[in-house]
Amino acid sequence: MKKKAFLSKVSGSVLALLLLTCNLVTAAPAEKHSYLVGLMPGASSKALSAPGIEMKEQWDNLGAMRIEASANAAQGLAHNPNVSYVEEDRVVHATSATGTSYTDGDLTWGLQAVNAQQAWNLGASGQTIKVCVLDTGIDYNHPEFNRNGTSVIKASKNFVKDKHRDATDGYGHGTHVAGTIVGQTANSGSRIGAAPNVDLFVARVLGDDGSGATSGIINGLNWCQQNGAKIASLSLGSSQGSKTEQKAFDQAYQNGMLSIAASGNDSGPIGYPAKYSSVVAVGAVDSNFNLASFSNYGAEQEVVAPGVGTLSSVPRGKGKKTSASENGTVYSSHELEYSGLGNVSGPLVDCGLADSTTSCANKPASGAWIALINRGSIAFSDKILNVTAQGASAAIITNNDSVNADDPGSFTLGSAGNWIPAISVSYNGGVSIRAGGLGSANVTVSAWDYSYFEGTSMATPHVSAVAALAWSANPKLTNVDIRSILKKSAKDLGTAGWDSSFGYGIVQADAAVKLANPNIAVKTAKAN
């Protein structure tokens, strides 16, 4: 974040005139920013009182406080003997993006990969465990959060300084994360919740743009502890650490909470808070159990979990569901971000790269038709504008990624607009469509209460849920015990033993439950 200090400048002649006339000159107030200040042991916040500094909130348990001050005033505090450090109240972000759809069964592929059903069969479903999700909030009335007529959300609070009165999700990320942990139904076509019987607590620490402040994370974490949460799930992060935040997570760990956080999506070093030693760092894998191309990795990587093509809940009506077929053959597809809604049937017309408004040479003279477009050369938005100008009612873009030949891709039109329904299919899908000549096709993009996301944000709730399953099998265990169990029960991936890409491996719910309570496994084995 760039800081701007506005300094009034007065010319010498004008200053002289003002002095001669004894007029008062008042400098324009400097822009204020939010800072976190650590106090020396025994120091009082009163010692920080100075012109230009506003005390906003204090964390006695951390020996720290938040102030608003100009950059100069904040820098001046560094020389105060009562101050141990001054740091910016840095910005943190959600760590996900719209993802490619996967073929799921009765359970999402992620729940299958972590053996959630096997853990349920052992009698562990997260019962009695309180899980706190620190994210963008939640859609309170989504059916995934209704258990037998009662909400699974036991408490919620907004920690973002905006106009939200509660923790309503205006972004979608938090609802998706929460659904992966505690989703109740199979309304999407698959069960999405790995620990359906946990009690959910929601701290809204990220705003409607997916970003928030360090101070909000700290306040949310403290609130989670006050409500007795055993697990804090954080699908968010920053490339920059914070001394104040680290103290908050260290203290939460000492107090018995297990914090689990996303490693980040930069294909680089582990981000924060995942990098703190008191936090479990989670990387993401795809359905082939390869490290996701975006996943961060490093010495702090502890475990990995499914984070690509993750189906879960989003605020009602905010997701999109697609279908694509040609001559009766259905192809895996994904909507372009910001695509319009609609159900269009008609002949397919080859528009090549759609790099001009004359690219669809064989379009019909009348009626609805669907543009078939090759990926490449120009922006997706320009392609769609070009075919729309030629009269296309919908569009299919064929991916040019022959390495991941069955991946429809995840593309965007850049911004909201009056777009026609636009989807993408895989490289192999495009080859197949063209192989027999272009026939009649159908493209459907409809509103949905679910969506596919990808990111270490999606891997994190899988791990949080597995931790809850293990803990519910033996509530007497400590957070240190559960952390050790996650590592010991993980299925090794990559280089034998721990490695910087996969950590100890992909979490396994049934193995974790058996380690947490061997007796429960023995009883079930006899019953079978």
**In contact, 380 and 397? CB cutoff 8 Å:** yes
Instruction: Tell me the C-alpha distance between 126 and 466, whole Å.
Output: 8
Residue 154, C-beta contacts closer than 8 angstroms, at least 6 positions apart: 130, 199, 200, 201, 227
Give the pLDDT band of residue 459 (cuts 50, 70, 90). very high
Spatial contact of 302 and 273, defined as CB atoms under 8 Å apart: no
Question: Which residues have a catalytic role annotated?
Answer: 135, 173, 457
What φ, ψ does residue 10 adopt, rounded to 5°?
-125, 125
Q: Which of 367, 344, 334, 373 is nearest to 441 (CA)?
A: 344
pLDDT at residue 29, rounded to an integer: 53
Q: Which two tokens stand for residue 523?
A: 């009883």
**String of b and e for 31-57 (b: at least 16 CB within 10 Å)?**
ebbbbbbbbeeebeeeebeeeebeeee
Q: So what's the pLDDT on residue 343?
A: 97
> How much is the pLDDT for 347?
96
> Alpha-carbon distance 235 to 177, whole Å?
8
Q: In angstroms, rounded to a whole number, what is the distance separating the alpha carbons of residues 282 and 292?
A: 12
Backbone φ and ψ of 443, nearest 5°? -130, 125
Q: In whole angstroms, what is the distance from residue 483 CA to residue 273 CA?
A: 16
Mean pLDDT of 152-168: 95
Terminal CA-CA length for the chain:
59
> Which pLDDT value is given to residue 294?
95
The C-alpha atoms of residue 44 and residue 38 are separated, in whole angstroms, by 11
Q: How confident is the model at residue 102 (pLDDT cuts 50, 70, 90)?
A: low
Mean pLDDT in residue range 83-100? 85
User: How far is the C-alpha of 72 from the C-alpha of 83, rounded, in Å?
Assistant: 15
Residue 269 has phi, psi (to 5 degrees) of: -65, 155
Number of Cα atoms under 13 Å in the Cβ half of residue 317: 2
In this predicted structure, what is the pLDDT of residue 9? 28
Compute CA 486 distance to the chain's CA centroid, rounded to the nearest angstrom.
21
Going along the chain from its start, the domains and CATH numbers come out as 30-89 (3.30.70.80), 94-314+454-527 (3.40.50.200), 319-448 (3.50.30.30)
State the pLDDT confidence band at 180, using cuts at 50, 70 and 90. very high
Residues 404-446 have pLDDT tens digits of: 888 888 899 999 999 999 999 999 999 999 997 899 999 999 9
Per-residue DSSP letter, 45: G
| Residue 365: Cβ-neighbour burial (10 angstroms; 0-12, 13-18, 19+) | exposed
pLDDT at 360 over 50: yes
Q: For 225, which DSSP code?
A: H
424, 409 Cβ separation under 8 angstroms? yes
Max Cα separation, the chain?
Answer: 99
Question: pLDDT digit string (tens) for 363-416?
Answer: 999 999 999 999 999 999 999 999 999 999 999 999 999 988 888 888 999 999
Contact in structure between 290 and 284 (CB atoms under 8 Å): no
pLDDT for residue 12 is more than 90: no
Whether the pLDDT of residue 21 is over 70: the answer is no
Which strand ranges, in their side-by-side order, compose the sheet holding 394-398? 329-331, 319-326, 440-448, 342-350, 370-374, 394-398, 422-425, 333-335
**Pairing label, strands 422-425, 333-335:** antiparallel
pLDDT-derived band at 46, boundaries 50, 70, 90: confident
Other CB atoms within a 10 A radius of the CB of residue 425 amount to 26
